[in-house]
Structure 1
Amino acid sequence: MNNEYAHPDDLAELRTAFSVDDAGESALGWAGVYAFEAEHGIVLPEPYRTFVAEITDGSFSGPPDYGLVGVAEMPDDWGDDRPVRNLSAPFPLTEGWLWEDDPRPYEEIERLLDPVFNDGSVVLGTDGCGMYWHLIVTGRHRGHIWNISGEGAVPFGAEFGHTTASPGFAGWVRHWAAGKPWFDAF
């Protein structure tokens, strides 16, 4: 996984996977990407960066189940009462966390959850029922995809043991385009 360079093969696969969309009309263009990055103090990881600039900024065809939201958007079910998101703050996790089984007091867990949902990631979309896919844009897991839900958070990619997929945005899309279940390593 290379966060700094968009491999032409990955971009070709992404174009194919999203070919039923708007033929690039919704893409932000490079000026739009640079403006988004400057506003949030980040640089988007590749190949997502080029994808948003040149291919599409959101998709109804998926992934995930309810479509890919634009880089500056949030899924419809995200809610209006959440804390302000801080994309430039490092994403806090480096391994999965099932907080519904965590023995610590609820108040302590609740204090730790806001950064998991709101720091260092772009929300890609939802599979419903409060399950959100995040692309990590800052921190040690920059470029990785995480599934974050009301019960816990897990990283996506074969190296983490939940799926047979390659890590990162291209691997996530490739896995979806192949029609595989998200967590197919069980």
Structure 2
Amino acid sequence: MAHSAPVNTDHADPDHLAELRAALQVDDAGESALGWAGVYAFEAEHGIVLPEPYRSFVAEITDGSFSGPPDFGLVGLAEMPEDWGDSRPVRDLSATFPLTRAWLWEEDPRPYAEIQPLLDPVFDHGSIVLGTDGCGMYWHLVVTGPHRGHIWNISGEGAVPFGREFGHTTGTSGFLGWVRHWAAGEPWFDAA
């Protein structure tokens, strides 16, 4: 599997923020944004720094969007999709996201007893949940570890990184590339 391409997670380009605003049709002069004080408080509470351009997006543009992506909309920074469930472990955003390559645990030959303890960290460590496409398919933005700034699709069957270098899509890596791909009306997994 390909190694992750660098994603600029330190600086938000104003043109990229304008592109995100247009793609998600946000035109409320920042009223739906969390604000910088809200972002700083969330980061301090969880011991992380959000990757750009998502960080500036939630601070200045909007904290969630019904227009998508994904299919059921972009949830707010401190929210979870309605179908997430109440019996899940406590999420630890400061813990390192454990994967650097796709893992389809449904096809893993190891006994389930070996796999099961490895699953909770995939869902609950080092990422924020951006939203759901339903049927247990969640989009995560990794906030810690080697894949910081990358988007992952995590479902009951496995976890797959988003970005053309990973072979599943023609879209570019990161939050901006993910939104661009959605705004262009492309299927998520469109690589031949």
TM-score surpassing 0.5? yes
Q: Deviations over 1:56-83 (max 9, x none)?
A: 0001110000000001000000000000
SS of residue in 2 equivalent to 1:89: coil
**1:23 offset after TM fit, Å?**
4.3
Q: Which moved more, 1:85-94 or 1:103-112?
A: 103-112
Q: Deviations over 1:125-147 (max 9, x none)?
A: 00000000000000100000000
Give the Cα separation in 1 of the matches to 2:167 and 2:134: 23
Please point out which of 102, 106, 112 is paired with 1:96.
Answer: 102
**1:22 offset after TM fit, Å?**
4.4
Question: Is 1:80 matched with 2:86?
Answer: yes
**1:21 offset after TM fit, Å?**
6.0
Tell me the TM-score normalised to structure 1 length: 0.98
**1:19 offset after TM fit, Å?**
2.1
Partner residue, 1:4: 10
Please point out which of 132, 137, 145 is paired with 2:138.
Answer: 132
Give the Cα separation in 1 of the matches to 2:29 and 2:125: 32
Q: For the Cα contact (< 8 Å) 1:21–1:60, is it kept in 2?
A: no
Partner residue, 1:177: 183
Give the Cα separation in 2 of the matches to 1:23 and 1:180: 28
Partner residue, 1:159: 165
Letter matched to residue 130 of structure 1: G
List structure 1 runs of 4+ shifted beyond 6 angstroms. none
Letter matched to residue 47 of structure 1: P
Letter matched to residue 106 of structure 1: Y
Tell me the TM-score normalised to structure 2 length: 0.95
- The unaligned stretches of length 5 or more in structure 1 are none
Q: 1:20 to 1:31 in 2, by over 3 A?
A: closer
Give the Cα separation in 1 of the matches to 2:113 and 2:44: 35
Q: Deviations over 1:103-161 (max 9, x none)?
A: 11101111100000000000000000000000000010000000000000000001111
Letter matched to residue 99 of structure 1: W
**1:25 offset after TM fit, Å?**
1.5
Give the Cα separation in 2 of the matches to 1:51 and 1:59: 11
Partner residue, 1:112: 118
Partner residue, 1:41: 47
Q: 1:131 to 1:34 in 2, by over 3 A?
A: same
Partner residue, 2:68: 62
- The unaligned stretches of length 5 or more in structure 2 are 1-6
- The percent identity for this pair of structures is 82
Q: For the Cα contact (< 8 Å) 2:26–2:61, is it kept in 1?
A: no
Give the Cα separation in 1 of the matches to 2:38 and 2:114: 39
